Structure 1
Amino acid sequence: MVPTAPSQPTIQNLLSETRRYPAPADFAAQANVDATWWDRAAADPVAFWEEQAGRLDWAEPWQTAHTWRPASTSDTGELSIPKAEWFAGGKLNVAVNCVDRHVASGNGDRVAFHFEGEPGDRRSISYAELQREVSKAANALTALGIEQGDRVVVYLPVIVETIVITLAIARIGAVHSLVFGGFSAEALRFRVEDTGAKLLVTSDGQYRRGTAVAVKEAADAAVAGVDSIEHVLVVRRTGEATPDIPWTDGRDVWWHESVGVASEIHEPEFFDAETPLFIMYTSGTTGKPKGLVHTSGGYLTHASWSHWAVFDAKPETDVYWCTADLAWVTAHTYVLYGPLSNGVTSVIYEGTPNTPHTARHFEIIERYGVTTYYTAPTLIRTFMTWFADGVPASYDLSSIRLLGTVGEAINPEAWVWFYENIGGGRAPIVDTWWQSETGAAVMAPLPGVSTLKPGSALRALPGLRTLVVDDDGVQVPRGSGGYLVIDGTYPGMARTVWGNPERYRDSYWARFATQGYYFSGDGAKYDDDGDIWLLGRVDDVINVSGHRLSTIEIESALVARAAVGEAGVVRVADATTGEAIAAFVIPSGVGGTDADASAALVAELRAHVTRVIGPIAKPRDIYLVPDVPKTRSGKIMRRLLEDIAAGRPLGDTSSLQDATVPARIAEIVAANAD
């Protein structure tokens, strides 16, 4: 199809990034994937995914590789519910693919995880040890009455037990739903009730920013009066540091008295590829979270292959670290199922990046010889404010051979800082675009092939196809912006919304049902080469006097200034232009700490945005703030910034890294209004 001019206004293309970084010759020479993979996959995508499914161990082969029933309009005008299946009839066990098969192949002594606790406790667990622990947990789950199809909610921090119980749930064919340990009792209760969970797994307490915090009371509040809950399984994590833990006899069970004494021998069953594996809830500040259902065979195929290809996995030598909290989909795919299915050694860290000091991540990279470091742009921008002069020379990061980013689009200047300071100017960066809904990476560079462009995920991976379209679903010309869609289906995609298939249809398939496109909710643009650049959520687009502007590009312009460490841009109401731009800026240094310096910095930033983008993108309001509200998964919660700027009540803030940030920003906004 030849792109035509869009019939409706699209998101404007504001910035142009010209820096290029070809794949290093030595990296390309040993890379898992070369440039031929795109054409081979495009020739027959279903056959391509069958080949990747063949990387896994199947107890029984599939009968039907793929079926797809798209949303279509009936004679009565009703849009049907779409349905996809991959590898139906094939049987496998996800946990066996992630653990047992590596032990059986002679790699039981290989370290599966190096665990680093926030207080400094450490543990390394081999694949053989992990197999024994998962088997014990599977037997304990069965003893607690958990069967295939039952739902188990897991409310734990980033500890080894979280991985063990998650794999054990998968091993017995039950369905897990992990919940971020910082969520409120109310947020946890919603997920317990919505899934109809029989079991909640939690801990006595957690370590947060150097302090032991009790969480069992919040867990109890979440399950109080929930009829489906039969037991609460409790890990002793903080012990005497959080005394007087509430206890309900007959319901509550200690991990060490259940899992700890169970048999190390467990005979696995094998389940159909379309058996639900987990429910992942989208989180946000507005609206009811959606419980996205991911199934076993297709999801594991996509997770395993994309980890192997995008992160160039070398199981014999890699020490891989994805910094995401285990409750987020990033960690499901690229801490748990992707790396484990490939037999890789990983690092997990319980705490925050600045506990007890701001270089904790560098210390961990050096200690374990991390080779692949995958993190969020927001942390990279935070590092830029903490280490304006670069990473201290006292930390040896020379083991790193590959970097990755996830969570939201990365600003070009942050990309370059990451490349030069963490990657030593030698390690390629795989900037990945994907969503909870997609299950695994959809767009990303292939590190041994792609010429990298700071700020761009470039193009869809082999076996996948993404487009940028206008309101009518027509592909926009190069140099233009619009809506990012996925054309076709693929194994890792969510199959439905738990208990609400109509919401699945309406949220993702209704808008472009005629074309059969999945609507991502993101804005994007093509550059002149046809590569794709993310422009943020469509809901975050700012319409200034009819010009539809991307928050990401305005933020990138601000972050390009050395005086700025991070920026969050949102829309605010304006009587003249309809909407105007408000920018919340974190200064990178001491500049801006007094009134004169602050005024000078604000004037400089307005002039800079006008110069590099144009007057239409000049922020009406610039607030210098100590931080912006971010989730633990690394996303700026721009909706909260909008609410603060407008003086509206805030939505759910329980997923914030630091719940005190909105109040501090509100004080600054109020002071500027006086």
Structure 2
Amino acid sequence: MIATASRYPETYAAWKADPQAFWAKAAEAIDWIRPAETIFDPDQGVYGRWFAGAECNTCWNAVDRHVPTRGAQAAIIYDSPVTGAKRTLTYAELRDEVAALATVIQDLGVRKGDRVIVYMPMIPEAVVAMLACARIGAIHSVVFGGFAAKELATRIDDASPRLVLAASCGVEPSRVVAYKPLLDEAIAISSHKPEAVLLLQRAECAAAMQAGRDHDWAVATSAAKAAGRFAACVPVAATDPLYVLYTSGTTGKPKGVVRDNGGHMVALAWSMANLYDARPGEVFWAASDVGWVVGHSYIVYAPLLVGCTTVVYEGKPVGTPDAGAFWRMISEYKIRTLFTAPTAFRAIKKEDPGAEHLKRYDLGGFRALFLAGERADPDTVKWAEDILGVPVIDHWWQTETGWPIVGDPLGLGALPVKHGSPTVAMPGYDVQVVDEGGHPVGPNVMGSVVIKLPLPPGCLPTLWQADDRFRESYLAAFPGFYSSSDAGFIDEDGYLFIMGRTDDIINVAGHRLSTGGMEEVLSSHPDVAECAVIGVKDALKGEQPCGFVVLKSGVSKSPLEIEKEIVKLVRDRIGPVAAFKVAITVNRLPKTRSGKILRGAMKKIADGDPFTTPATIDDPAVLDEIAAALEGKF
């Protein structure tokens, strides 16, 4: 490890020496109704359970306990450039909104352990909905607002919810998306039928109500408040589920990632102080969506657990109205810390490579930018560092873990940055790189990235009602370890480099090559805004790489000229072994609504394999553009 003034080395060593003592100390940040009998019980669950015997309530810790000391402080700032709406909820106001909604949910028959689907856009009521479920011990399952009816139906069937909390619509920069028809269709085609729907009518699109099943959110919560009916927090076991969040399954059936109450709170609170260096009273903004794990962890729960102000933003990094949208938010609300996806910064860089919009805003109080969700290419990180003048921290984690596996712990004192690396393992995670036989490999040798069991607090204990599937999906490949399905290497200083998913390692004439390494070269070209590399089937070599590039605005060179430069760049930096001969300029790349590039779909198009349009895709039309760009190339 590099010599450093950071407290990280001794903190990580303390965890490794006595994990139970480490997490017992971290648990002091949480209010417990009953403390744990056992910090970690290896005999419970699939690989053990944290804080066995403890009782707690997540909503109490995130909301009620702050009211005596910071009741007048903003808990939620809502800003919607797509509707022009702005709103602030204090901790005291949030408690009342949550407690009133919790009463309505109880009136509709929901009890501790029941599931509730939340199908809502980025509005404060989505956060209120999640907290109201947590308040009464109901298990929420948030489905990204506007998700297709078929996908919503599969989640309804798997979770068997008693109630659906929904909004009438979502608002995009160029259109209004009606949610209610999608929800009605999903319920019609699902085998399980929720007993009730509580619907928030938005001004942009009123929805038809179904008599006997549908109830008006505003009417019901107003009646509860008028009658002085505010639900109390219900004690739950620390090991009881807080939520189920579905992630795509390889078999087509989504996997319900389970998150418990106790370990989740402990891990998130620890990460806010020690990794993100976020302090009570500060404004913390995770520019994501509540439909994704980042929204769960770092819009809703973590900021509120530690007494921060969190931001709910209904907009985009560009186009609402311009590439200065994030700078306006940081300046207007005195945001200290921003956490977003590298894709967002690539979009801003593409539209405004000279950061001209930044000059209009005062970012004097801004302290740090964190990037996660996709690999942060060094070129984008350097660009952000140059224009912002603050630490830009790449970190790596997954829906399954719920909080960062690897990062640069700003709260403990930042470590030296190595561009291309999310830095080092956080306490709780024993991260190793192994070969196909599960044997550890040496420094700088590519392999599968795995985590030694047990996983720390906050990580999934299992999949919803599917212990065997959990074992098969994550634990079977490397016994004694959790398989991340990511490939990478650890260098001589202990820094991890994630080079792509294990299925993004391509085999070119017997050479295992990382598409992530090639993308790093492509993104270093001065005219490239973003890129993706896939392996295309090749009868002779097995696979051959193909690079797609999106150019920055205002580029004067021809695409053909840039493509030739890119091919030469890869051959110069990686060598002829890469067999890199095809670079294709496109206007955009296919992405999920959270900004992840759909490389798998691109590969299937290139290989001519059958595929279904991914449910999470932002705009399906882009797949036709990719197919057209590939014509005649192979």
| TM-score normalised by L of structure 2 | 0.95
Correspondence 1:479 to 2:444: yes
Instruction: Give me the whole-angstrom Cα distance separating, in 1, the residues matched to 2:465 and 2:231.
Output: 32
Q: Deviations over 1:619-642 (max 9, x none)?
A: 332221111111122211111111
Per-residue deviation, 1:260:
2.7
Question: Match of 2:128, SS?
Answer: helix
Q: Tell me how far 1:377 sits from its aligned partner.
A: 1.0
Cα distance change of structure 1 residues 504 and 613 upon mapping to structure 2, 3 Å threshold: same
**Unaligned regions of 5+ residues in structure 1, if any?**
1-19, 71-80
Return closer, same or farther for 1:34/1:598 CA change in 2, 3 Å cut-off.
closer
Q: Is the 8 A contact 2:567 2:582 kept in 1?
A: no
User: How far apart are the structure 2 equivalents of 1:149 and 1:224?
Assistant: 24
Q: Which amino acid in 2 is paired with 1:395?
A: Y
Matched residue SS, 1:371: strand
Q: Which residue does the alignment assign to 2:73?
A: 110
Q: Which residue number in structure 2 is paired with residue 552 of structure 1? A: 516
Partner residue, 1:308? 273
2:60 aligns with: 96
2-structure distance, mates of 1:592, 1:472: 50
From 371, 392, 409, the equivalent of 1:429 is: 392
Which 5+ residue runs of structure 2 have no aligned equivalent? none
Shift in Å, 1:396: 2.4
In the TM superposition, residue 123 of structure 1 has moved relative to its aligned partner by 0.3
| Letter in structure 1 aligned against 2:14 | R
Q: Paired residue for 1:141?
A: 105
1:576 aligns with 2:537: no
Corresponding residue for residue 460 of structure 1: 425
Q: Name whichever of 35-44 and 122-131 sits farther off.
A: 35-44
Map of 2:612 onto structure 1: 651
In the TM superposition, what whole-angstrom CA distance separates every residue of 1:172-206 from its partner, at most 9, and x where no partner exists? 11101101113111111111111011111111111
Is the partner of 1:253 in helix, strand or coil?
strand
2: CA distance between counterparts of 1:182 and 1:456? 34
1:100: Cα distance to partner? 0.5
CA deviation after TM superposition for structure 1 residue 242, in Å: 2.5
CA–CA distance in structure 2, aligned partners of residues 87 and 438 of structure 1 = 17
Letter in 1 for 2:427: P
Distance 1:284 1:350, change over 3 A: farther
Contact 1:205 1:216 in 2 (8 A): yes
2:256 alignment counterpart: 291
CA distance in 2, matches of 1:43, 1:560: 41
The answer for the alignment partner of 2:352 in structure 1 is: 387
SS at match of 2:83: coil
CA distance in 1, matches of 2:336, 2:526: 29
Kindly indicate whether residue 21 of structure 2 is the aligned counterpart of residue 55 of structure 1.
no
Query: Which residue type is aligned with residue 465 of structure 1?
Result: D
Q: State the Cα distance separating 1:575 from its structure 2 match.
A: 1.6
- Partner Cα separation in structure 1 for residue 163 and residue 500 of structure 2: 37
1:354-411 Cα deviation digits (max 9, x unpaired): 2232322222121111110111111111122111112421132232101101102211
Rounded to whole Å, the distance in 2 between the matches of 1:544 and 1:35 is 39
Pairing partner for 1:367 from 293, 313, 332: 332
Question: For 1:102-251, what aligned pairs fall within 5 Å after superposition?
Answer: 102-104=66-68, 106-117=69-80, 118-224=82-188, 226-237=191-202, 239=203, 241-243=204-206, 245-251=207-213
Match in the other structure for 1:598: 559
Deviation at 1:481, TM superposition (A): 1.1
- 1:294 Cα offset (Å): 1.1
Matched, 1:260 2:222: yes
- The structure-2 alpha-carbon separation of the partners of 1:671 and 1:548, relative to structure 1 and needing over 3 Å to count, comes to closer
SS at match of 1:522: strand
SS at match of 2:304: helix
How far apart are residue 662 of structure 1 and its match? 1.4
Q: CA separation in 2, counterparts of 1:451 and 1:379? A: 24
Q: Residue type matched to 1:39 in 2?
A: A
Map Cα deviations across residues 49-83 of structure 1 (whole Å, 9 max, x no partner).
Answer: 1111121000111111112259xxxxxxxxxx833
- Say which SS state the counterpart of residue 29 (structure 2) adopts: coil
Match of 2:464 among 498, 507, 512: 498
1:438 alignment partner in structure 2: 401
Q: What is the rounded CA distance, in whole Å, between the counterparts of 2:518 and 2:372 in structure 1?
A: 20
Counterpart position of 1:608: 569
Instruction: Judge conservation of contact 1:150–1:198 (CA < 8 Å) in 2.
Output: yes
Match of 1:12 in 2: none
C-alpha separation between the residues in 2 aligned to 1:647 and 1:590? 34
2:462 aligned partner, one-letter code:
T
Q: What is the rounded CA distance, in whole Å, between the counterparts of 2:401 and 2:356 in structure 1?
A: 34
Q: Alpha-carbon deviations, 1:294-353, whole Å to 9, x = none?
A: 11101111122112211101113x211101111111111111111110010121211222
Please say which of residues 503-512 and 387-396 is displaced more in the overlay.
387-396
Q: Are the counterparts in 1 of residues 268 and 302 from structure 2 also a CA contact under 8 Å?
A: yes
The equivalent residue for 1:566 is 530
Deviations 1:130-151 (A, max 9, x none): 0000100110100000001111
Note if contact 1:92-1:272 (Cα within 8 Å) is conserved in structure 2: yes
The 10-residue stretch of structure 1 (662-671 or 189-198) with the greater mean CA deviation from structure 2: 662-671
Report whether the alignment pairs 1:64 with 2:30: no
Displacement after TM superposition at 1:529 (Å): 1.9
Residue type matched to 1:553 in 2? Answer: G
Instruction: Give the counterpart of 2:320 among 346, 352, 355.
Output: 355
User: What amino acid does structure 2 have at the position aligned with 1:341?
Assistant: L
CA pair 566-618 structure 1, distance change in 2 beyond 3 A = farther
**Match for 1:551: what amino acid?**
T
Partner of 1:9: none
Q: Give the match's secondary structure for 2:407.
A: coil
Listed one character per residue, the Cα deviations across residues 195-218 of structure 1 (whole Å, up to 9, x for unaligned) are 011111111111012422211100
* Distance in 1 separating the partners of 2:258 and 2:427: 24
Between the aligned partners of 2:162 and 2:577, the Cα distance in structure 1 is 55
Contact 1:135 1:168 in 2 (8 A): yes
Cα separation, 1, equivalents of 2:90 and 2:21: 35
Instruction: Report what 1:410 is aligned to.
Output: 376
SS in 2 for 1:83: coil
- Which one of 316, 327, 331 corresponds to residue 295 of structure 2? 331
Whichever residue aligns with residue 496 of structure 2, its letter is I
**SS of alignment partner, residue 494 of structure 1:** coil
Select which of 304, 309, 317 maps to 1:345. 309
Task: Supply the distance in 2 between the matched residues of 1:69 and 1:570 (Cα, whole angstroms).
Answer: 43
Residues 609 and 618 of structure 1 are in contact (CA less than 8 Å); yes or no, is this contact kept in structure 2?
no
Structure 1 SS opposite 2:549: strand
- Report the counterpart of residue 537 of structure 1 in structure 2: 501
Shift of 1:590: 4.0
Within 1, Cα distance between the matches of 2:307 and 2:298?
12
The number of residue pairs the alignment matches comes to 623
TM-score (norm 1): 0.89
Superposition deviation, residue 526 in structure 1: 1.7
1:419 aligns with 2:385: yes
Is the aligned partner of 1:635 residue 2:596? yes
Structure 1: distance between partners of 2:251 and 2:525: 32
State the shift of 1:671 in Å: 6.5
Amino acid at match of 2:607: A
Partner AA of 1:248 in structure 2: Q
CA 1:281–1:592 in 2, change beyond 3 Å: closer, same or farther? farther
Higher normalized contact order (CA 8 Å, seq sep 6+, divided by chain length): 1
